[in-house]
Structure 1
Amino acid sequence: MNGKQVYIVHGYMASVKDHWFDWLKAELETAGVPVHILAMPDSSKPQREAWISHLKENVKITAQTYFVGHSLGCISLLLYLNRYQLKATGMILVSGFLEPLKDIPELDGFLEEQISIESLIQNVPERLVIASIDDSIVPFELTKKQAWALDAPLIEVANGGHFLGREGFREFPLLLKELKTMLS
């Protein structure tokens, strides 16, 4: 698809083989889009600096770079793009958050660094957020607030949970459809 590429950034307690990541990669690569699923370091005990450094070392931004973040991968992606003032063509954030999760305080360190939302909006012109109303890990309201802060359209899913494989999300047709629209 003409120099376009996609990076997938997984979340807390996940790996590159979890959920819908491999499926999305296969679907996009069939359409001619190279996809990189980043194996974020020590996902069971994630550290903000290690994750941002991993992104810096493994992402090669081109004129047509798109991102998909899931959960903790969303805030990590935002921190990375913001810290280095990087431009990307687009991003889709799934079950993201910008505020502490009361049930997972070990992730609070990812929220200590100030993010310039205005810069992110300027540097990533195409933005979309997907949230599930019944997400038991990242409350829907927090993902909704993230969409509002980023001036991004929000797609609400009634019964998506946290979009995990164990919740039936081995495939994610809605995300594929939205990403293909963004890529076209």
Structure 2
Amino acid sequence: MFVMHAILVHGWKGWPENAWFPWLRRELERRGWTTEALALPRPILPDRREWVRTIRSAITGSDTVLVGHSLGCLAILWALDEHDGPPVERVVCVSGFARPFVPIRQYREQWFPRDFDFQALKTKAKHWSVIHGSFDPLVPVNEGRWLAEHLGVPFTQTKRSGHLTQEERAFEVPEILDAVLSLLGCVIDAAALDG
């Protein structure tokens, strides 16, 4: 039996048990998936190369589903940019971005050494999803829309507003589970699976 493996990637100042991560892992494991939530090095002062190396070493193959939050999404994009194996099954970007919108030189130089080649990047995963909370105070919603447009996928805005963090008590976000479970282009209603 083919078992899917979900890798959850936190963002800046994040940790493996952050916000909706434990809930998503429980929901997927109930359905027979294997999961892990990465503890990325130095989450307060992240180094792009260290984060990319950690993510690349966690990818198990075409059974991998990568779920990133905020800066974790950007790290996933760079990890896949360097990925030379078979495409992963799916990437779900939550509250993510793929262009510099913060005017801090050091941040721009480290995290955006060049522009992404989205045509090449799209081939690194079979399916892509972009999800964003409304009225996100940290990553503007338009950054998520821009990412979805450049990946050529629909943009999903959650019913919940904000950056979908622990501080906002975003412990369950059904749209993320729906996106993860919508394998092979068939959306699986997560609520229907509960019954």
Match of 1:101 in 2: 101
Q: Taking structure 1 as the reference length, what is the TM-score of the superposition?
A: 0.91
Contact 2:56–2:80 (CA under 8 A) maintained in structure 1: no
Alignment gaps of 5+ in structure 2: 189-195
* Equivalent runs, 1:1-184 vs 2, <5 Å: 2-57=2-57, 59-86=58-85, 87-102=87-102, 107-108=107-108, 109-157=110-158, 159-182=160-183
Compute the displacement of 1:160 (Å). Answer: 2.1
The sequence identity of aligned pairs, in percent, is 27
Amino acid of the structure 1 residue aligned with 2:66: F
Partners of 2:31 and 2:122 lie apart in 1 by 28
Kindly indicate whether the alpha-carbon contact (under 8 Å) linking 1:82 and 1:120 is maintained by their aligned counterparts in 2: yes
Cα distance change of structure 1 residues 102 and 85 upon mapping to structure 2, 3 Å threshold: same
| Mapped partners of 1:41, 1:93: distance in 2 | 20
Counterparts of 2:168 and 2:107 in 1: how far apart (Å)? 22
Q: Indicate if the aligned counterparts of 2:90 and 2:125 stay in contact, CA closer than 8 A.
A: yes
1:126 to 1:146, Cα distance in 2 relative to 1, 3 A: same
More displaced 10-residue stretch of structure 1: 5-14 or 162-171:
162-171
Query: Any idea what SS the aligned residue of 2:157 has?
Result: strand
C-alpha displacement of 1:106: 5.4
Distance verdict in 2 for CA 1:19–1:88, change over 3 Å = same
C-alpha separation in 1, matches of 2:161 and 2:111: 24
- After TM superposition, the score normalised by the length of structure 2 is 0.86
- Unaligned runs of 5+ residues in structure 1 are none
Amino acid at match of 1:16: P
The letter for the 1-side match of 2:178 is K
The number of residue pairs the alignment matches comes to 183
